[in-house]
Amino acid sequence: MPQNSKHYSIYSMELGPMENFVYLLHDHASNTAAIVDPAWEVNEMLGFADEKEIKITDVLLTHSHHDHINGLQQTLEHSDARVHLLKPEAKFWDANLSNPVLHHGADQIQLGDSLINILHTPGHTPGSACYHLGDDLIAGDTLFVFGCGRCDLAGGDPEEMFQTLKKMKTELPATTVLHPGHNYAPQSPTSTMASQCQGNPFLHFDEASDFVKYRMHVHDTIRNTPYEAVSKEQACASLK
Ligand SMILES: [Fe+2]
């Protein structure tokens, strides 16, 4: 389906010193929007919405790390928006949010005519979420173009990440467009699940133990950003 037949548009801005992407999901019929992971110079995205006279009604958080939420307060001062996150992330974060909407995986958010499905994707943090609408996936720090989120920080768990990515690989259509939380592959800021299944090393391992070894001990010693595609043979060979 051509892009303009969708009920919505996705705008992205790369902001801050860590190549974070802030997204705006704009529902055409209602002229409302959800902002995802408001951070850094978020006023640029808020100003963009103002210019287009789009009302921001919802904030979607993929997870609670500072580089994804440090513009939340400013966003709530700008717009009277509902904040959505997963219940396990709220527990992990322990922040003093007023009236957040706490979700479980498989919940849905209706934004005008656009329906957003929430996936619980633990591994980077206990309550990491991806937001799936149409054939687009807003993936936070769960899946990057040719990369995935770290699992060695507080709340991270590489075995959970293995299960999360395995599920995404098998359940998301190959045509799904990946919109990651960081621009770690600037030659390809977005990608498809088909390309990721071919070239994302974190989707190449069949055994949890191999994935854990690669994520926790091997990857950071052999790869740096900008990320490029890695074949299954290369990924498996790097474990030896
Ligand atoms: Fe993160």
**C-alpha of residue 1 to centroid of ligand 1, in Å:** 32
**C-alpha of residue 28 to centroid of ligand 1, in Å:** 30
User: Taking 90 as the threshold, does the pLDDT of residue 176 lie above it?
Assistant: yes
**C-alpha of residue 37 to centroid of ligand 1, in Å:** 11
User: Taking 80 as the threshold, does the pLDDT of residue 234 lie above it?
Assistant: yes
Model confidence, pTM: 0.96
**C-alpha of residue 149 to centroid of ligand 1, in Å:** 7
Q: What is the pLDDT of residue 1?
A: 37
Q: What is the pLDDT of residue 6?
A: 86
Which residues, 6 or more positions from 66, have their beta carbon under 8 angstroms from its beta carbon?
none
User: Taking 80 as the threshold, does the pLDDT of residue 3 lie above it?
Assistant: no
Q: How far apart are the first and last CA of the chain?
A: 44
Please name which of 33, 123, 115 lies closest in space to residue 78, comparing C-alpha atoms: 33
DSSP state of 82: E
Are 26 and 48 in contact by the 8 Å Cβ rule? The answer is no
**C-alpha of residue 66 to centroid of ligand 1, in Å:** 8
For all residues of the chain together, what is the average pLDDT? 96
User: Taking 90 as the threshold, does the pLDDT of residue 52 lie above it?
Assistant: yes
Categorize the per-residue pLDDT at 5 as very low, low, confident or very high, splitting at 50, 70 and 90: low
Can you read off the two tokens belonging to residue 43? Answer: 């006023």
d(CA 92, CA 125): 8
**C-alpha of residue 141 to centroid of ligand 1, in Å:** 5
**C-alpha of residue 118 to centroid of ligand 1, in Å:** 18
**C-alpha of residue 179 to centroid of ligand 1, in Å:** 15
**C-alpha of residue 125 to centroid of ligand 1, in Å:** 8
Which residues, 6 or more positions from 223, have their beta carbon under 8 angstroms from its beta carbon?
201, 230
**C-alpha of residue 176 to centroid of ligand 1, in Å:** 22
User: Taking 70 as the threshold, does the pLDDT of residue 77 lie above it?
Assistant: yes
Q: What is the pLDDT of residue 225?
A: 97
- What would the mean pLDDT of 109-130 be, rounded to a whole number? 98
Q: What is the pLDDT of residue 4?
A: 47
**C-alpha of residue 115 to centroid of ligand 1, in Å:** 25
